Structure 1
Amino acid sequence: MLLNRNRNIWFTLFCAVILLSYNGQRAFAAIDKNIGSVVQVNDSLSFISPLRLRGFSLLPAPQQVELGAKNIVVDGSWSVDSKVSIEDIAVRRLLEGASELHGLNFAKKGGKKITLAVKPGTVKATSDPALNDQGYLLGITADKIEITGNSPTGLFYGVQSLLQLLRRDPAGRLIAPEAVIRDWPAVQLRFVHWDTKHHQKRMETMKRLIDWHAFFKVNMVALEIEDKYEFPRHPIIGAPGAYTKAELQELTRYALERHIQIVPNIQAPAHMAHVLKHKEFEHLKAEPESNYQACMCDDEAINLIFDMYQDMIDATPGVDYFLASTDEVYYAGICAKCKRPYNPENRSLAWAEFAVKAHDWLAKRNRRMIAWVEYPLLPQDISRLPSDIINGIMGEDKEFLDNQRKIGMRQLAYSSIQGGEPLFSDYSRYPAYVSTVRNGIKAGANPIGSFAAAWDDSGLHEEVFHLGWATITQYAWNPYGPAYEQTMADFLDVFYGANSPDIASAYKLLNEGAQFFRRGWDEVTSTERPSSYGNSFGKGIGTERMDDFLRLPEIPLDKNLKSNTKYTTDHSKIIAQAEELEVKNDELINKLARYMTQIDRNRYSLEVYLSIAYLERYFIKTVLAFRDAERTFERAQAASAAGKHEEAVGFLIEASNKIGALDNWSKGMWENVTEVWEKSRYEKNPDINGRKFVHVQDDVKDHFADRRKGLDYMIAPFQRTNLPGWQNKLNERIKQYAAANKVPVKGLAEKRLED
C-alpha cells in the first residue's frame, strides 16, 4: 500500500502549492501560473529525504515521492515493453544503462514488465509548457514498472531516475523501492560550463561527459571555445589541432539525442587575446597596447566577431541558444574610433549598443541570445536591451533585477565552481549554492535556468567539476530539495556506486592540499611577464603581476660554513602546515589507491585525483626538504667549528643528495601526471604538421594555466624555485670547502652527461 497517497497539487487562481514530503516534514513552494517560476514560502529543508532513509539515491531529488512499504527485486526475468521506438534514446539508455551500471540484461519476454510511454499531460505541474514537457511519472510495483513522460525528454529523464534508484541489497539482488514519483524541473535550462580556453578535451571525453550530464538531467552545455575551433572563415584563429566543423557537428548530434544542447560561448568583444594576438587582427584592438579587447566602434571588428558567431552556429545545428558572453568588457568605448568621451555613462552605452547588435544578428539566425548583463552596463540602460536576452549571471543586485523585471528579462542562476584555485575545486563553497535560485527569486529575479560555471583560468581537470555541476543542477531542478550533505552523498553513490567507500573524506583531503598549494608559495614581482594593461577598475590600475616560487635556504659560503635559519624562520607557518599535511597526504594517496578497486564506476576520476595528490605531495616534500637542508647546514657548521671537516663535507653532501633525490622523484611523478591527464585531453597547445601554436598571453588577465604553453603550468612555481640550480651551487660549494680543507668528496650524487 502506498503512503501519503492523498498529497495532491492544488491550483488556485494565481498560484499552485506543491507539497513536498521529506521525512514527514513539508516544504512549500508557490508556482506562478503565468511564468512557471518558483517562489519560496518556507525555507526549511529536510536533513534526509524518505528515499535516502530507505537506502536509495536519486539526483536531482524529485519533486514528489510516494513510497510504498516494500522494496522490489528487478532481475533478468523482467522484460521491456516500449510504446515508443526501440531506437529512441530512452529505450536504448534503459537497456545499455542497466547492463553497464548494474550488470542487468532484460529478458526478451517476461511476466514482469518495464513499460515506457510518452503521454502528454501525464504530469501537470505548472502552466509553463517548457517545464511540463520535461516531466515524468515513474511507478514501481512488485510486478510492473511504468515510466511515462510528458514528452520524449520526460521519458528519458524517467529512465535515468530508474537507473539511479536500482541498487544491490546485502544479498546481491538488484532492488528498487515501491514508489510513485512525479517529477519535473523548476527551471527550464540547466547549464554546465565547459571552458576549453587552456586545454582541449578528446572527443570520447566530451561524449562521456555528456552521458553523465544527461544522467543528472543537465540539458545545456555552454561550450566556451576560444581558439580550440578551426573557424573556417578565419582559420588563423584556430589553434593547431583545433576541433573541426565535422567534429563539433557530430558532438552536437550526440548531445541533442540525449536532450542536451551544445550552446556556443564566444568571448567578445573582451577576452579576445586569442584573436588579437595575430598580426592579421592587431589593427582591431581597442588600444594598440592591449590584446584584451577589440574596438567596439569598428565595423570590421564587429563583423569579425559575427563571423566567429556564424562559424559556431554552423558547427552546432539544431541548437536554439547562443552565449554571446559580453564578459568583463571593462573598457567599452575606449577605442579612438568611438566618438563619445570615455566615461562610465558612455561605457554603459557602448556595451548596450553592442548587445543590441549581437542580439539582432543572432535573432535573424534563430538563436536566442544569452549574455552577461553586468559591468560596465548601468542599471538605467537595461531598458535599452531586447527583453528576450537571457541574463546569464543573475546575481542579487536589486536595482539591476528591478530594471530587468520591468522589461521582462529572464536570468540564469549563476554559480561558479572554480575561482582562482589551482589543482582542485574548492567544494567548501558548494553549500551556498543550495539557495542560489531561491535567493535570486527573493531579490526579484525571474530565472529561466541555472549556470554552473567551471572556468579554465587555473587549468583544473574536468573530473574535479562533477560534484559542482551536479549540485548546482540539483538545486535548479528542485530548489527545495534536501540539505547539501545529502546531495553530496547522493552524488557519490550515483557517480561511484551505491556501495562505494568514504570518498567524501578524500575530497576533503584533496581540498586541504590544494589550498596549501595555492597559499604556500612566496611571491615576487614577475620577471616572466610585463605589467598588465589594467584591471576591472580601469586602465593602468592593478598592473603589477606576481610570480609564485619558494625562497630557498642560503648556502653557507663562509669559510667556517656559518649558516642561518632564515628559511625556517620565514616559513615557520608553512613548514608547520606541511608537517601536518604530510601525514594527511600519505593517508589520501593510500585511500585513493585502495578505493580504486572498491568503486563500481568512474575509476578514471580517482586516477586524476591521485595525480593531484602527488602534485600536492611534491610541494609538501619541497617545503620539508629545505627545512631538512637548513638543519643539515647547522650540523655541518658545528662539525666545521670542531675541525671535523670531512664530517662537515658529509653533511653538505647529505643535503645535496636529498634535494637531488627529490628532483629525480619529481621527474617521474610529472611523467605520470602528464600520462594520466592526456588520457582525456590532447597535448596542450601542440605544434602540428609544421604549424606552431602562437603563445601570446593576455595583456589584462594572468591565468595560472596560461603561464606555460604546455601542461607544465602546474609545476611553474617549482621551475622558478629551481631545485637543480640550487643543488648545483651547493655542489660547487662542497668542492670548494673540501679542497680548502684537504678532505675528499665521497658520495656526491652529481648529474651525468647522459642525464
Structure 2
Amino acid sequence: MKKHLWYSILIFSVIFASCKPIKKTGDFKILPLPQEFEITGVSSLGHDSIKKVYSSSETEMPILSKVLGELVITKEVPEAQIVYDIDNTLDLGENGYLLTISENKIQIKAKDEAGLFYAFKTLDQLVIDAYEQKVNLPICTIKDYPLISYRAVHLDVKHHRETLDYYYNLIDKLASYKVNAIIAEVEDKLQYQSQPTVSSAGALSSEEWKTLSKYALERHIKISPLIQGLGHASFILKHDKYKHLRDDPESDWAFNPLNPKTYDLQFDLYKDALAAFPDGKYLHIGGDEVHTTGRNSGKTSLELQLIWLQKVCKFAEENNRIPIFWDDMPLKDSGVYESMFDSKLSQEEVDKIWKENEHKLLAFLDQLPKNCIYMRWNYSNSDALGNSKAMKWFLDHDLQVMGATAGQTRWVLMPQEESNMNNIRSFVNASIDNNLNSIFLTLWDDDSPHFELYMRGILAFAEYSWAGDKRTKEEIKTIYRQREFSHELSAPKYAFIDDLEVQVALWKNILLKGNKRNYLKKMEKPLEEGLISLPDLSNKGKWTSENEERLEAVEKIMISYEQVADQIDEMKEKTERNLYTLEVYEQVNELVAFSAKALLALKELDNSNNEQGSLSKVKNLEADFKKIRNELETVYSKTRILNKPADYILDQDHHAHLANQSINFDWQFNAEMLLFEKIKKTY
C-alpha cells in the first residue's frame, strides 16, 4: 500500500528531525477533547525519546501509526517509556482510558482494546504537538471516554468513487479522531454476484470491500452497508431487466412493495452486501422520501411502506443484522413532520401538532418493527423542538432511535454554513440529552464536492460526539487547522475556509437567472431560461446597469479570492501534513474566481470604447477556462475517479443531482460551458 497522504510529511519529520525538544510549556490541543485533561508541568520526554513499551499482562499493542516510530517491547519496566495495560474493572465507560505522563514515564490503563487504541491516538497528538513546537511532552493526566458509543460517518459513493488508497487513508484519518463506524452507501459500486446487472463497471469486488472492512475493524471501525430500498432505487430500476418491479412503470424511483419478486431482488443485494461487509453491526435499508401508488390495492402509502419494512426487517434479523430505517415517511404520513423543520415553533405549538395527529401513528404502532432502529434525521433545523419530540416518542414506545446530522447536503463545490457545524452540534447535543448511544454524520454525494472538503465537518462531529459541547465553533476551527496542517497554521490569519464558503455561495448562481444550476440539464432552452443575458453592443452600459447587484458580488469574490489565494500559498509552504487538502481548496478558489473574471470581462465589453479588444477577451474566456478545468481535474483525479464508465446508464435524476447529469466531469461545469456556447451564438 502507498504511503499515507496525510502523514507522509509528518512521519519523515518526526523520525528524522534534528531539532532537540526543550523543557518549556507547549500548546497541546487534543481532538476530540478528553473528558478530563490537566497539565501540571513539563516532562523530560521529547517527541523522539519514546523507544520502549512494557505491559505487565503482555497485552498486545494496538495497531499504531508511524508517529511514535518503531516501538520495542521490553520485559523490564525501568527500560520502558510507556507502560500500558487493559483493566476491565476501571470505573469508565466502554472505550475509556487513563493516560498519565510523569517526568519520564507514560502510563496507560484502558477499559478495553478500543480504549487502549484511543489512548495511543491521544498520545500521537501530544507527540505531534511536542515535535512541531520543539518542546517536551507535558506532565499531565487524562481521563477519557466517549459520550456516544456509536459514532458513524457516511461514505456515499452513489455517483462516483475514490481510489482504494484513498479509502484506506480515510480509515486511518477517521480512527485518529476516534470515529468508530462507517455506513457505506455503495449502490452500484459493489460487484453483486447474484444480480450483476446492478453493478457499474469499475465497481469494487466483494473481496476488495471485505479487505477494507477488515482493515477498518483492526482500527476499531466497523463498516455497515446501506442499500437503498423501496425508494431511491433508481440505480436498480433504471435497468430494463428490472422495470417490471417498478411501482410506477414510468419512474425508476420506487419498487412495487406488493410484488414478491421485489424482495427476491432486494434480498439478493442485501446478502451480497453483508458478505462484502462482514464486520458491520447494521444493515441500513433506506426507505425515505417515497410514496407508492398502491396499484389499486386500496392500501395507503404508509400501509404499503410498513408491508415492505416488516419484510426487510425480518430479513435483517434472520441474518444477524440490526436494520436501520429513515423515519421520515411514517412521520409525514401521520402529519407531525412539520414540527421537525420549523425551529420557530414553541414547545406548546409542537405539542399541539402532535396532540392533533399522534393517533395516526399510534394506529400503526403494532406494525412498526421492534428490531429496527428509526433514524431521526435533520440537516438544517436540528434545533427544532420537534426533533426531540420525535426521538422521545420512539423511545416512549419501546422503539430504538438514532440521530443523523450532516456534514454535506446539497451544497455545490464545498460544504457551506461553517461546515454545517451549528447543526452538527445541536443534533449531537439532542442525541446526548435523549440518552441515545448512536449518532450518524451523513455526507451526501448528490452534488459531489471533493471528500477532502468534508474534513472540517467530520472533525467537528468527532469532537461533539465524543466529548460533548465543550468547545466553541471558533475553537474547533482553530484546532482543525492545528491537527490537520500544523500548530503554526492554527493561527487566525490562516482561517480562510469560511471566506471561501461565502465565495462559493455567491458563485453557484452568479452566471444564472435564479437558483438553477442543478436544473440546467432539464431545461428545454437553458441559454434563455437559465443563463443571464449578455451585453448588447448597440446599447452600451445597459447590461452593467441591469447587473449592478451581481457585479457587486463579483467585486466581493475577487477581493476574497486574492486573500484566500495568498493564505493557501503560505499554508502550502508551511504545512506539516495534508498538503493535498490545500491543493483541493486552491482549485475551488480558482474555479470560483473564473466566473467572477468572466463577468468582469463582460462588464468591460459593455462599457468599452475598444470593442474589438474587449470582445477578444470575452471570446478567449473558453480557452482560459480549459486551463483552469484541466488543473482542477488533475488535482481531483489524484484521489477521485472523475468519469463514469463509457457504458454507464444515467438514471431519471428525480432530485436533480448534479453529479448524475453527465458521464464525464462536465456536470461540475454546466453553467460555465453554457456561457461559452451563448457567447459563440451571440458574438
Q: TM-score range by the shorter chain?
A: 0.7 to 0.9
Task: Give the Å deviation of 1:243.
Answer: 0.9
Tell me if 1:364 matches 2:318. Answer: yes
Give the partner amino acid of 1:144: K
Structure 2-normalised TM-score?
Answer: 0.84
The separation in 2 between residues aligned to 1:408 and 1:229, in whole angstroms, is: 35
Aligned counterparts, 1:202-217, within 5 A: 202-217=163-178
Query: What's the secondary structure of 1:360's corresponding residue?
Result: helix
Describe the shift of the 1:192–1:79 C-alpha distance in structure 2 as closer, same or farther (beyond 3 A): same
* Aligned residues of 1:84 and 1:118 also touching (Cα < 8 A): no
Query: What's the secondary structure of 1:182's corresponding residue?
Result: strand
- Tell me the equivalent position of 1:461: 450
- Tell me the equivalent position of 2:579: 603
Give the helix-richer structure, 1 or 2.
Answer: 2
Give the partner amino acid of 2:471: P
Alignment partner of 1:147 out of 108, 126, 137: 108
- Tell me the equivalent position of 1:296: 257
Q: Deviations over 1:504-535 (max 9, x none)?
A: 5220221011111124242388673279xxxx
- Tell me the equivalent position of 1:714: 668
The separation in 1 between residues aligned to 2:406 and 2:200, in whole angstroms, is: 27
Q: Deviations over 1:635-678 (max 9, x none)?
A: 3xxxxxxxxxxxxxxx2321221113322111011111111111
Describe the shift of the 1:548–1:367 C-alpha distance in structure 2 as closer, same or farther (beyond 3 A): farther
Alignment partner of 2:67 out of 97, 107, 110: 97
Tell me if 1:696 matches 2:651. Answer: yes
Give the partner amino acid of 1:416: A
Give 5+ residue unaligned stretches, structure 2.
1-24, 335-360, 379-385
- Tell me the equivalent position of 2:85: 117
Describe the shift of the 1:449–1:153 C-alpha distance in structure 2 as closer, same or farther (beyond 3 A): same
Describe the shift of the 1:405–1:588 C-alpha distance in structure 2 as closer, same or farther (beyond 3 A): same
* Aligned residues of 1:167 and 1:174 also touching (Cα < 8 A): no
Give the partner amino acid of 2:440: F
- Tell me the equivalent position of 1:589: 565
Give the partner amino acid of 2:445: D
Aligned counterparts, 1:603-622, within 5 A: 603-622=579-598
* Aligned residues of 2:132 and 2:487 also touching (Cα < 8 A): no
605-614 or 396-405, larger mean C-alpha shift: 396-405
Describe the shift of the 1:407–1:376 C-alpha distance in structure 2 as closer, same or farther (beyond 3 A): closer
Describe the shift of the 1:249–1:107 C-alpha distance in structure 2 as closer, same or farther (beyond 3 A): closer
Describe the shift of the 1:571–1:201 C-alpha distance in structure 2 as closer, same or farther (beyond 3 A): same
The separation in 1 between residues aligned to 2:109 and 2:529, in whole angstroms, is: 56
- Tell me the equivalent position of 1:285: 246
Give the partner amino acid of 1:361: F
* Aligned residues of 1:286 and 1:296 also touching (Cα < 8 A): yes
- Tell me the equivalent position of 2:427: 436
- Tell me the equivalent position of 2:186: 225
The separation in 1 between residues aligned to 2:673 and 2:132, in whole angstroms, is: 54
RMSD of the alignment, in Å? 2.7
* Aligned residues of 1:404 and 1:410 also touching (Cα < 8 A): yes
* Aligned residues of 2:97 and 2:116 also touching (Cα < 8 A): yes
Q: Deviations over 1:184-220 (max 9, x none)?
A: 1111110111111111111000011110100111011
The separation in 2 between residues aligned to 1:624 and 1:484, in whole angstroms, is: 35
Give the partner amino acid of 1:695: L
Aligned counterparts, 1:120-139, within 5 A: 120-122=88-90, 124-125=91-92, 132-139=93-100
Give the partner amino acid of 2:544: T
Tell me if 1:510 matches 2:500. Answer: yes
Query: What's the secondary structure of 2:320's corresponding residue?
Result: coil
Describe the shift of the 1:603–1:468 C-alpha distance in structure 2 as closer, same or farther (beyond 3 A): same
* Aligned residues of 1:495 and 1:602 also touching (Cα < 8 A): yes
Question: Would you say how many aligned residue pairs link Structure 1 and Structure 2?
Answer: 616
The separation in 2 between residues aligned to 1:58 and 1:693, in whole angstroms, is: 45
The separation in 2 between residues aligned to 1:156 and 1:685, in whole angstroms, is: 38
The separation in 1 between residues aligned to 2:49 and 2:535, in whole angstroms, is: 74
* Aligned residues of 1:192 and 1:451 also touching (Cα < 8 A): yes
Describe the shift of the 1:667–1:223 C-alpha distance in structure 2 as closer, same or farther (beyond 3 A): same
Alignment partner of 1:268 out of 229, 241, 258: 229
The separation in 1 between residues aligned to 2:57 and 2:194, in whole angstroms, is: 40
Q: Deviations over 1:13-61 (max 9, x none)?
A: xxxxxxxxxxxxxxxxxxxxxxxxxxxxxxxxxxxxxxxx962111111
Task: Give the Å deviation of 1:550.
Answer: 3.3
* Aligned residues of 1:415 and 1:452 also touching (Cα < 8 A): yes
Give 5+ residue unaligned stretches, structure 1.
1-52, 126-131, 532-543, 557-561, 636-650, 731-755
402-411 or 573-582, larger mean C-alpha shift: 402-411
The separation in 2 between residues aligned to 1:236 and 1:450, in whole angstroms, is: 34
Describe the shift of the 1:352–1:80 C-alpha distance in structure 2 as closer, same or farther (beyond 3 A): farther
Give the partner amino acid of 2:396: K
Describe the shift of the 1:353–1:80 C-alpha distance in structure 2 as closer, same or farther (beyond 3 A): farther
Task: Give the Å deviation of 1:157.
Answer: 0.5
The separation in 1 between residues aligned to 2:552 and 2:95, in whole angstroms, is: 53
Aligned counterparts, 1:244-393, within 5 A: 244-329=205-290, 331-332=291-292, 334-336=293-295, 339-341=297-299, 346-377=300-331, 378=334, 379-380=361-362, 381-393=364-376
Give the partner amino acid of 2:329: Y
Q: Deviations over 1:569-608 (max 9, x none)?
A: 2321111111122121022122212211211111110111
Give the partner amino acid of 1:392: M
The separation in 2 between residues aligned to 1:185 and 1:260, in whole angstroms, is: 14
Task: Give the Å deviation of 1:475.
Answer: 1.2
Describe the shift of the 1:308–1:156 C-alpha distance in structure 2 as closer, same or farther (beyond 3 A): same
72-81 or 287-296, larger mean C-alpha shift: 72-81
Task: Give the Å deviation of 1:145.
Answer: 0.3
Give the strand-richer structure, 1 or 2.
Answer: 1
Query: What's the secondary structure of 2:666's corresponding residue?
Result: helix
Describe the shift of the 1:589–1:171 C-alpha distance in structure 2 as closer, same or farther (beyond 3 A): closer
Task: Give the Å deviation of 1:161.
Answer: 0.7
Give the partner amino acid of 1:656: L
The separation in 2 between residues aligned to 1:186 and 1:147, in whole angstroms, is: 20
Describe the shift of the 1:695–1:456 C-alpha distance in structure 2 as closer, same or farther (beyond 3 A): same
- Tell me the equivalent position of 1:677: 636
Give the partner amino acid of 1:726: I
* Aligned residues of 2:32 and 2:178 also touching (Cα < 8 A): yes
Alignment partner of 2:36 out of 64, 87, 102: 64
- Tell me the equivalent position of 2:19: none
Give the partner amino acid of 1:390: I
Query: What's the secondary structure of 1:236's corresponding residue?
Result: helix
Describe the shift of the 1:314–1:86 C-alpha distance in structure 2 as closer, same or farther (beyond 3 A): farther
Tell me if 1:668 matches 2:627. Answer: yes
* Aligned residues of 1:77 and 1:112 also touching (Cα < 8 A): no
Runs of 4+ in structure 1 off by over 6 angstroms are 84-87, 104-110, 544-548
Give the partner amino acid of 2:32: P
Task: Give the Å deviation of 1:268.
Answer: 1.2
Query: What's the secondary structure of 1:726's corresponding residue?
Result: helix
Task: Give the Å deviation of 1:180.
Answer: 1.5
Give the partner amino acid of 2:479: D
Task: Give the Å deviation of 1:361.
Answer: 0.3
* Aligned residues of 1:435 and 1:475 also touching (Cα < 8 A): no
The separation in 1 between residues aligned to 2:445 and 2:547, in whole angstroms, is: 30
Give the partner amino acid of 1:339: S
Q: Kindly, what percent of the aligned residue pairs are identical?
A: 22
Task: Give the Å deviation of 1:710.
Answer: 1.7
The separation in 1 between residues aligned to 2:194 and 2:146, in whole angstroms, is: 39
Task: Give the Å deviation of 1:112.
Answer: 5.0
Give the partner amino acid of 2:397: I
The separation in 2 between residues aligned to 1:456 and 1:374, in whole angstroms, is: 20
Task: Give the Å deviation of 1:88.
Answer: 5.1
The separation in 1 between residues aligned to 2:604 and 2:126, in whole angstroms, is: 53
The separation in 1 between residues aligned to 2:131 and 2:377, in whole angstroms, is: 46
Describe the shift of the 1:107–1:499 C-alpha distance in structure 2 as closer, same or farther (beyond 3 A): farther
Task: Give the Å deviation of 1:463.
Answer: 0.4
